[in-house]
Amino acid sequence: MHVFSLSQRMTAEFLGTLWLVLGGCGSAVLAAAFPQVGIGLLGVSLAFGLSVLTMAYAVGHVSGGHFNPAVTVGLCTAGRIAGKDVLPYILAQVVGAICAATILYFIASGKVGFDVSSGFAANGYEQHSPGGYTLAAALITELVMTFFFLMIILGATNKRAPQALAGVAIGLALTLIHLVSIPVTNTSVNPARSTGQAIFVGGWAIRQLWLFWVAPIVGAALAGIAYRFLAEEHEAPEPALAQTVTP
């Protein structure tokens, strides 16, 4: 079996995260509210799902297709990735997300009247939540949604699951997560995605960024632990001697 170097895997994570953020946040900034033919919440949700699905098949075989610091942490607590690779993966993901936000900023700035302070698909709570949801509601949403995202990833990529369909299940899961939680936080479940956008918005987005690191990381770590328990295999007990002796 071919083993990819750390630099190859980091490059795959960089490209995958860049595409995820550019596709998902780009759809929100450029296409969601386009007059008459805007794609709306459903379209943005699909864009995030399609972006992770496509890159899972493009470079997932190189790095595992995390594209998300929370996914990397969850896979680590589940025993799927070595602890020494966690920080390099997260670094590559954050840099990819920032590059995507930079590209999107330059594209969006090409329209007269563009104002990054209007949101730029940044994540937020309270007055910066699309639906005005509280900090507590945002925290629970991000934690629970990331927990189940990791459970789906871990299950879909289990050696006993149909491997060819893992990317489809993961992409659809991310779509569903966005359909539920865009009104609450604009949906993060991905600290790198949140960081890239927050850097350009600044101010409130930077101040609220902590939640979009803490909640997804905690949710993912808990999912990794829970899945290890759930998927643990036990050997069938040996039959008792009395049961094996024929009278």
pTM: predicted TM-score of the whole model, two decimal places? 0.93
List pLDDT tens digits, range 206-242.
999 999 999 999 999 999 999 999 987 655 665 554 4
Res 242: pLDDT: 44
Q: How confident is the model at residue 164 (pLDDT cuts 50, 70, 90)?
A: confident
| % of the chain with per-residue pLDDT over 70 | 94
User: What is the average pLDDT score of the chain?
Assistant: 93
Segment 64-76 mean pLDDT: 97
User: Is 17:93 a contact under the CB 8 Å cutoff?
Assistant: yes
Q: What is the DSSP letter of 68?
A: S
Give the whole-angstrom CA distance, residue 173 versus residue 171. Answer: 5
Segment 25-53 mean pLDDT: 95
* Strand ranges (E), the chain: none
- 93 has pLDDT over 60: yes
Q: In sequence order, which residues have a C-beta less than 8 Å from that of residue 31 and are 6 or more positions away?
A: 38, 39, 43, 44, 47
Res 36: pLDDT: 87
Q: How confident is the model at residue 245 (pLDDT cuts 50, 70, 90)?
A: very low
User: Is 75:154 a contact under the CB 8 Å cutoff?
Assistant: yes
- 115 has pLDDT over 60: yes
Q: Which two tokens stand for residue 35?
A: 């007059």
CA-nearest of 164, 189, 200, 199 to 70 is: 189
Segment 162-167 mean pLDDT: 88
H/E stretch holding 33? none
Segment 159-169 mean pLDDT: 89
State how far the alpha carbon of 86 is from the alpha carbons of 69, 125, 150, 172, 200, in Å: 8, 28, 16, 25, 26
CA-nearest of 104, 103, 128 to 118 is: 128
Q: Which two tokens stand for residue 53?
A: 């699905």
Q: How confident is the model at residue 161 (pLDDT cuts 50, 70, 90)?
A: confident
Give the whole-angstrom CA distance, residue 96 versus residue 16. Answer: 8
Res 219: pLDDT: 98
Res 235: pLDDT: 59
